Structure 1
């Protein structure tokens, strides 16, 4: 059939008279390797259906269609074609296109074969459907239609994922099983749209991973993160149904705009460009102001102070806006230091707030003068990160249409969210969230260990406080944070799929998709223990957290157990998945185990040596062996896995911190006094979910959350938006009761260990009240001021706690009652002594 002549058009007009497809009471479409009477054959009998697109559609549609063609070949070994504006459709065509940009899709809509209302005017929405007899001569069509260019691309990649191609197929070498045939069974169309409007990643702290790797293996001509690397990143984002990036911006990396093809490739892949919290107006100050300014402008820059050098800084911003005006971008407004430091300017806070307001007003003037649409419709974000939050809290007047992007405390706990007034702002709000970090109190750049349960808890809480405009996740080098990144993007796409109460199931679902159903449960068990152990001390934080002998032994045994489980699975893993398994499971598990062995065995050797115990030297050797093995497995990652594809990506000692070095061990055994204090292990430990009774007011629910916080579980109240309970109104609070068997009378101490969350917005704390045997309740706030010493210890040890003393006047059972007063409180366990 010819789509481009009048005779062909008359056939399409006749379609308008045909009855619409009855979609009611049918199951959704499904993929299968078995043909059935209503199936569409993607690959059947060694022959693949052709893919049809309109050449006038967006470039990303063609890119995604070509990727889908490659995915079909990867899955089946069969080659198909992408045909642009082909005059004749085959009997079984795959039709791909965007409403308003694809002749094919528009005519199917006119014919009533696609419901216009599910796509028209929507944001990044797609429909995947099997349509019977769409036109004369076509028996059945597989149709992927998008509301806009990204919606179409997401529909293509979602189908690819359903067929068995992981979003991590290139980035983690997840090779699919070969299939002889592929079919899509007809059913209710698959229609999806995102929960969060802008969803993406921040490439950061790239000095020891993605930058040296890109220089060595990808953009070898410029020896930097350049367009070849970003092309792979952009495809990953599309496969993850993400749309937004903050590019790498460290001194090791030249500015994104330095390479002309970087923004060109971003536009081709329909990726929205942004810049980090400390890079206003898409400028990379580390490179473009501090290093390259003279090359760009022919003179050295003045001081980076807006109150002293306003015109030069404004011109510098204006030039980038002019350069970027035709790219889809989100402009960061405000100002900080050249690199992640506070804004230079007056020392008086009120004067600094006034200056910051002037900066933002001038930036918006620049935007309005250089982009031909109202400034209120140009996406802008303001990120109150670190010290900027205090300036915002001091009274900064932010334009209503600017999106506030709230930051976490760099360790996964959000510092503040919008209050009821802020929630009314037209710009809405979003979240900047870390799963990788360089900074105080300790980095975690090596391994990724923030659990899906924690990510879901904090980001779901943010979503309930209307932070649905933009989520950007600091993923470091992408590797080895692939699973956690995929989880964050899956959550951003559908916030209801992985709620905090079921997020611990994600690892099993992900493992089934990535490695196959037979490996899903054991991989999920490994990941659950891996995350639980990291909550109490990330591998990179082991030198900063003390454990009792019993806790140390439990950690070592648990790590050894999951390592041997992983080794056993590796033996059973198909050859096509061994590289992926090493990258995604085995390396982080073994690396974490070895770091714990290195540090805990070193400490044990010193203790034993001080007692004159000859076994001290055995533990010294074990510690040294672990240290050496970390280097060996990292060498394997870089030089052997996937034929050396990742050479330069993995460092075992980012920033060469002390924790990565060989610790002091016993080199001789001579009894001497060693001042090592060990915490008493004579405690009663009560898991929070093991309560005897509970009372929850109407409208609230008490949730037990697996995988969240210390010990691998916690309890919390939903919804996150409930109004805090005052100290004089405890009778209105939810409470839980524990029955505790006290062996002795007298004073006892109860430590309640909680997730180290922060108050949901200014003025709200994170409190509980505790009473024993109905004595007067004591109210405790477990959330300290950010970045003080208590906070530092909390994020390293994975919990915040309150300690209360109680006079117990009887032995045997006593009643411990805990009132939950504020949203965001997660209780993990009680420790009583």
Structure 2
């Protein structure tokens, strides 16, 4: 993304025509005509487009290759040879006498990037079509005042994988955008390729699900890729540009290289011959028909050996039909799922093949190269997910992967030389627009993303470019909240269900009975977010509403409504077991949220942009249980015909303890369990105890069947003694209850972490002491994790820290003051569920409680284990240790670095075997 300050460009220049090199490429012509359309959007005047063999008029833009005769004869300055050797780079500058403006690339894509960056400078968003971003009208164009030479892209092959298109891209193309093809065809791909070039990407892995015909089925698809100079590849499951799901028919027999080798070879060779002249990256190796393991093999060793044979045969085919050495032909070997095990078994992979590492489908890279692998001549790359179908649960509906996580993982990959190929699985493209922009901008120029704070800068600029400075800043802020809320649990995971095999919706792990009512806290956060997006939507100019709905409003409202549906269902179920009449109200709230999701999705498909996106958005991809209309299995239990009450924490006779130095309030719910009318009253409160309401009345006739009141402390009336205690009387109808309450005082400095009602909680970002070395150090990364920031173990050498004495390793120290003495306390250390950085490493840290021996814990998970599934659904890994608290007072926790890549989130000391919160409920720190 190019930006120019006010002093760096000049305006007031009229453009009457555009000329492109008559001897240039098809992309020169496409770029010139698209530029003319862009200028028309800006100025309402469309310049004429000519080839270079026509007489060039004044006030023209010239487009071509930098070393072409057409461009060379117009240049007013010498172009450095080093620049001309760069790939996909462009020059922008003025011709002799400043009569013409020149946009010239070192190759066809470089020229296109220069053209589209010029359009971007003048206000044409890359998302003008795919997100209906309007173009601000002006009478004159802006031009760089000085010559500009772009850099070579950071990553050589940058692109997307169109995947799981069954619920959006394919039905939309079939029925709305390209009915003449009835599928994702050349018209759709032309729009996709244009978007890629505007994002300065260059590679496509085409859609390949059973709902879509193979890319080569429609001859126009390949012609379109050639015209737009897009590099064609294929996914990890599709060797040699074949689409096995569509193209391997039953008549061909088994897709088995052992028993059906000749047929498989002919199948591959036919495609290699057909594509011998196209710009392509060939996926080598072999898996099953559709994202499954290799057929016909009975052991890892046999599969690894057979893969070596497969790849050797594939390379022979490439040499035969491309007329060059296999070492000169781009090839990729993607170590996805079980293929990583085969690779690790010791199979020999030719060094010139690019080794493509993968994430675990949930945005955590499974592994990167060790020192030897990082030096491979073919380099390395990454296949990464912003959308996924599969176990333990899909996330195909809303795009909510945190950009900070994308940055952390891809920045790490880039530092470790995985920068040959970057492919992002974007599903249907929509609503993954921002993830796609962010990923491609990193891939194009990683220097602009050299530090975590650049993430927020990028997000702010993205929304400012589209919605203006005032709205953009506000929109960026709510998108940040959206990503943070989804970090705890993606909207698609709110049913606490799984798939493959598919299970039904279950109660959530959010508690309405503890920690201030976790369910209500989350609902409040989403309702606040929904209110903010509604407010912005109302204030936006009419021409920005469609774009805003797609990029911001639908994802935020959809996520909020999914949480309302599932969490109100949860409350209804849990309150029904208490006999609360109000359970019916929560059932209705859940049903209303489901209906609202339907209406919101109908608005996306039928109303915005005059129905342009009809069929693009499904509210129930794969029809998994989490998307269904809510069902309620628990009816309201007839416990007894009396009103009742519930005190936060579940103790019927006592409020949770208050602690001096920590502002808190605790709630009491008063509710009816049968049709009735009852009065209630709070009497004889201790002088320091405040209550939000002292008396009231419940009535089923007036539909006031429950009430929540809050207790807090007037700190000016609390004495300095260690414990202030007292009782109050709660009268409910004819019943009286004596409720105990107390305030405790540690007499500690501000900022101290204390045990509070059996828990002490610390954010890992706030150690009391940090110890680093030159090569091994801790780094804080904001906007990641439950607590809002993590502490990451880093190594300049990308190695584990191995020494005889862990106590000498870099460490983090935390101090806690406790009020409990026990032999059964639990210390819980949490982290972001990353994977070991290389094969040689794990995810270990050392943990020391006071002066006790250091215990080593390991956050590493393996394969698709139950622990891994739980971790990725929660975006959290945790390890529990037993510790002895021998005395009240101050204690120390020290965490020692062993492996890089451990991203610590927060720490909990549980002294009373309490139920643990699902969310991060804040530090127990005095203020």
- Verify same fold: TM over 0.5: yes
Q: Provide the residue aligned with 1:399 in structure 2.
A: 350
2:796 and 2:292 map into 1 onto residues whose CA distance is: 32
Q: 2:25 aligns with which of 58, 71, 84?
A: 58
2:431 corresponds to 1:465: no
Distance 1:637 1:186 in 2: 42
Q: Distance in 1 between matches of 2:82 and 2:55?
A: 28
Mark the structure with the bigger radius of gyration. Answer: 2
Q: Which residue of 2 aligns with 1:30?
A: 4
CA distance in 2, matches of 1:371, 1:457: 39
Task: Show the counterpart of 2:917.
Answer: none
Determine if the alignment matches structure 1 residue 424 to structure 2 residue 375.
yes
- Counterpart of 2:903 in structure 1 is 826
Out of 538, 547, 554, the position equivalent to 1:571 is 538
Residue 64 to residue 776, structure 1, CA distance change in 2 (3 Å): same
The answer to whether 1:786 aligns with 2:890 is: no
Q: Give the deviation of 1:91 after TM superposition.
A: 4.0
Whether 1:201 aligns to 2:153 is no
Alignment correspondent of 2:322: 371
- Show the counterpart of 1:535: 487
Give the aligned partner of residue 201 of structure 2.
Answer: 242
Deviations 1:340-370 (A, max 9, x none): 1100022022111111111111111111111
Look up the match of 2:69: 103
Q: Residue 395 of structure 2 aligns with which residue?
A: 444
Please list, as runs of the form range in 1=range in 2, the aligned pairs for 1:158-177 lying within 5 A after superposition: 158-177=117-136
- Seen in structure 2, the aligned counterparts of structure 1 residues 421 and 542 have a Cα distance that, compared at 3 Å, is same
- 1:672 shift after superposition: 5.8
- Report the CA distance shift for 1:230/1:751 in structure 2 as closer, same or farther (over 3 A): same
Question: 1: CA distance between counterparts of 2:560 and 2:891?
Answer: 40
Question: How far apart are residue 179 of structure 1 and its match?
Answer: 1.9
* Residues 1:696 and 2:696 aligned together: no
1:82 positional shift: 2.3
Equivalent runs, 1:247-646 vs 2, <5 Å: 247-290=206-249, 300-499=251-450, 501-502=452-453, 503-544=455-496, 546-549=509-512, 550-646=517-613
Q: Secondary structure at the match of 2:603?
A: helix
TM-fit CA distance, 1:140: 4.5
Q: Deviations over 1:440-477 (max 9, x none)?
A: 00000000000110111111111111101001010000
The structure in which a higher percent of residues are strand is: 2
SS of the equivalent of 1:738 reads: strand
Question: What is residue 24 of structure 1 aligned with on the other side?
Answer: none
Q: Which residue of 2 aligns with 1:817?
A: 894
**TM-score after normalising by structure 2:** 0.81
Q: Give distance in 1, aligned partners of 2:260 and 2:451.
A: 48
Deviation for aligned residue 1:816: 1.6
Task: Confirm or deny that 1:186 pairs with 2:145.
Answer: yes
Q: Distance in 2 between matches of 1:629 and 1:323?
A: 50
Please give the alpha-carbon distance, in whole angstroms, between the structure 2 residues aligned to 1:782 and 1:728: 21
Q: CA deviation at 1:280?
A: 0.6
- CA displacement, residues 19-61 of structure 1 (integer Å, 9 cap, x when unaligned): xxxxxxxxx98376xxx8x9554x64xx434322211111112
Distance (Å, rounded) in 2 between the aligned partners of 1:521 and 1:794: 33
Please say if residues 605 and 666 of structure 1, whose CA atoms lie closer than 8 Å, have aligned partners that are also in contact: no
Deviation at 1:198, TM superposition (A): 0.1
For the Cα contact (< 8 Å) 2:91–2:147, is it kept in 1? no
Q: Is the 8 A contact 2:15 2:61 kept in 1?
A: no
Higher helix residue share: 1
Q: 1:725 touches 1:732 (CA, 8 Å); kept in 2?
A: no
Contact 2:481–2:529 (8 Å) recurs in 1: yes
* 1:620–1:666 Cα contact (<8 Å) kept: no
**Is contact 1:501–1:703 with CA below 8 Å preserved after alignment?**
no
**Aligned 8 A contact 1:127 1:189 in 2:** yes
1:610 positional shift? 1.2
Change (3 A) 1:140 1:551: farther
Rounded to whole Å, the distance in 1 between the matches of 2:456 and 2:10 is 35
CA contact (8 A) 1:31 1:162 kept: no
Question: Which shows bigger deviation, 253-262 or 812-821?
Answer: 812-821
Residue 736 of structure 2: aligned partner: none
1:484 and 1:65, CA in 2 relative to 1: closer, same or farther beyond 3 A? same
Higher alpha-carbon deviation: 809-818 or 749-758: 809-818
Pick the aligned partner of 1:802 from 868, 873, 879: 879
Shift of residue 169 of structure 1?
0.8
Q: Matched residues in 1 for 2:757 and 2:871: separation?
A: 20
Q: Which moved more, 1:420-429 or 1:236-245?
A: 420-429
Assess if the C-alpha contact under 8 Å between 1:687 and 1:828 holds in 2: yes
d(CA) in 1 for partners of 2:153, 2:62: 23
- What is the DSSP-based 3-state SS (H/G/I as helix, E as strand, rest coil) of the residue aligned with 2:73? helix
Q: CA deviation at 1:796?
A: 0.1
8 A contact 2:15–2:59 mirrored in 1: no
Provide the C-alpha distance between the structure 1 equivalents of 2:418 and 2:175, rounded to a whole number of angstroms. Answer: 39
Mind listing any 5+ residue stretches in structure 1 that lack a counterpart? 1-27, 292-299
Tell me the equivalent position of 2:725.
none
Secondary structure at the counterpart of residue 253 of structure 2: coil
2:826 paired with 1:749: yes
Contact 1:31/1:184 (8 A) holds in 2: no
Corresponding residue of 1:92 = 59
Q: Does 1:709 align with 2:675?
A: no
CA distance in 1, matches of 2:213, 2:812: 55
State whether residues 203 and 246 of structure 1, in contact with CA within 8 Å, keep that contact through their aligned partners in structure 2. Answer: yes
Q: In 1, Cα distance between the equivalents of 2:258 and 2:180?
A: 41
How far did residue 668 of structure 1 move?
A: 4.6
CA contact (8 A) 1:602 1:666 kept: no
Deviation by residue 1:146-169 (Cα, 9 ceiling, x = unmatched): 111111111111121122111111
Partner of 1:229: 188
Asked if the contact 1:40–1:140 (Cα under 8 Å) also holds between the matched residues in 2, the reply is no
Indicate the residue corresponding to 2:89 in structure 1: 125
Contact conserved, 1:125 with 1:193, CA < 8 A, in 2?
Answer: yes
1:701 and 1:653 mapped to 2: Cα distance? 45
The equivalent residue for 2:107 is 148
Count of residues paired in the alignment: 780
SS at structure 1 position matched to 2:430: coil
- CA 1:107–1:118: 2 relative to 1, 3 Å: farther
Considering only aligned residues, what root-mean-square deviation do their CA atoms show, in Å? Answer: 2.1
Deviations 1:651-702 (A, max 9, x none): 00001001111233378522469xxxx9998532211212222111114453
* Alpha-carbon distance between aligned partners in 2 of 1:497 and 1:461, rounded to the nearest angstrom: 15
SS at match of 1:30: coil
Instruction: Give the match's secondary structure for 2:136.
Output: coil
Structure 2 CA distance, aligned partners of 1:122 and 1:658? 51
Q: Does the aligned pair in 2 maintain the 1:751–1:801 contact within 8 Å?
A: yes
Deviation (angstroms), 1:547: 1.8
Q: Please give the alpha-carbon distance, in whole angstroms, between the structure 2 residues aligned to 1:644 and 1:31.
A: 38
Q: Which residue of 1 aligns with 2:843?
A: 766
Q: Deviations over 1:675-730 (max 9, x none)?
A: xxx99985322112122221111144532212222233212134564321136332
Superposition deviation, residue 766 in structure 1:
1.2
Which of 718, 725, 740 is the matching residue for 2:801?
Answer: 725
Q: Secondary structure at the match of 1:405?
A: strand
Q: Which of 788, 792, 815 is equivalent to 1:739?
A: 815
